[in-house]
Amino acid sequence: MINLKVNNLRKHFGGLQVLKGVNFEINGPELIGLIGPNGAGKTTLTNILDGAIKPNSGTVYLNGERIDQYKPYQVALTGLGRTFQVTRSFRRMTVLENLYVPALAVGEEQNRAVVHNKAMEVLEFLTIDHLRNDFAQALSGGQQKLLELGRLLMLDPDVIVLDEPFAGVHPKLMEVIYEYIRRVNNDGKAIVIISHQMDAIFNLAKRLLVLNYGDMIADGPPDEVKNDPAVIEAYLGVDEDEKEEMAGAQ
Ligand SMILES: Nc1ncnc2c1ncn2[C@@H]1O[C@H](COP(=O)(O)OP(=O)(O)OP(=O)(O)O)[C@@H](O)[C@H]1O
Ligand SMILES: [Mg+2]
């Protein structure tokens, strides 16, 4: 059974307290939306979960194993993967080579044919198999997002954190990403979607976490959370578009 346990995480950058004791737990293949205003600490939390930065205090356990002091590749091997708000592919490698990298980077003696077949399967699913021999730098922003999602699947993580997967994505590709999230979740993976796009969040997520400048102010079913006075308060005056979208999703 998948279990991610985040205990009292604190992180500051100089005098700026970005996470003020964050707690939550994921049990099983949940589909969770993580929302909050710009600068709330969502990406910082993701960076701690995947080992890119270390918390000042607090712990993270994945399936019973403490991972908060691990390096990113160790976290990936333990079973947590993430995508980046600003995509990071190897721009001068082909699309297919970008997918080989995670399998090679973990240092496992993997059969090349197995890795290749898996990469092809992933690219077909993401509808970018025709781009397999193109350099990653030739892809559109949305296609880069898809490539990141593909890279993630190569390591078969238990928990996936998607940092703004819809930002800058052409509407045509949105459906592919929706389908990816639903299918990977149905395959038994826990997924956390960070997004400012409330329509997408309310469409997909079964549970919402709301981070507000370092405090997790709500955690529950979307219908309850969107009516929570603390959440409404946090969004008031922050961003007019978001406020409208929150209202529209009621
Ligand atoms: N390496 C860093 N050094 C200093 N300050 C940082 C660093 N990383 C993040 N911050 C600050 O921490 C705060 C939280 O940033 P973070 O990127 O986690 O927010 P976010 O919720 O992901 O926002 P957004 O919705 O805009 O992506 C911001 O004030 C940011 O400027
Ligand atoms: Mg962010």
Residue span of the structural domain in which 188 resides: 3-248
Per-residue pLDDT of 217-246, as tens digits, reads 999 999 999 899 889 888 765 455 655 666
Point out the ligand nearest to the CA of residue 34: 1
Question: How many domains are contained in the chain?
Answer: 1
Signed CA dihedral, 169, 172, 175, 181: sign only: negative
Q: List residues near ligand 1 (CB under 6 A).
A: 13, 16, 18, 36, 38-44, 85
Per-residue pLDDT of 84-98, as tens digits, reads 988 888 899 999 999
- Rounded Cα–Cα distance for residues 143 and 147 (Å): 6
Tell the residue nearest (CA) to atom 7 of ligand 1: 13
CATH number at residue 186: 3.40.50.300
Task: From 11, 16, 83, 239, give the residue whose CB has the most ligand 1 atoms within 8 Å, as the site to mutate.
Answer: 16
Tell the residue nearest (CA) to atom 8 of ligand 1: 44
- Rounded Cα–Cα distance for residues 204 and 224 (Å): 15
Rounded distance from Cα 121 to ligand 1 centre (Å): 35
Rounded distance from Cα 113 to ligand 1 centre (Å): 41
pTM of the model: 0.91
CB-based contact 156:90 (threshold 8 Å): no
Q: Give the pLDDT mean for 102-117.
A: 75
Rounded distance from Cα 108 to ligand 2 centre (Å): 32
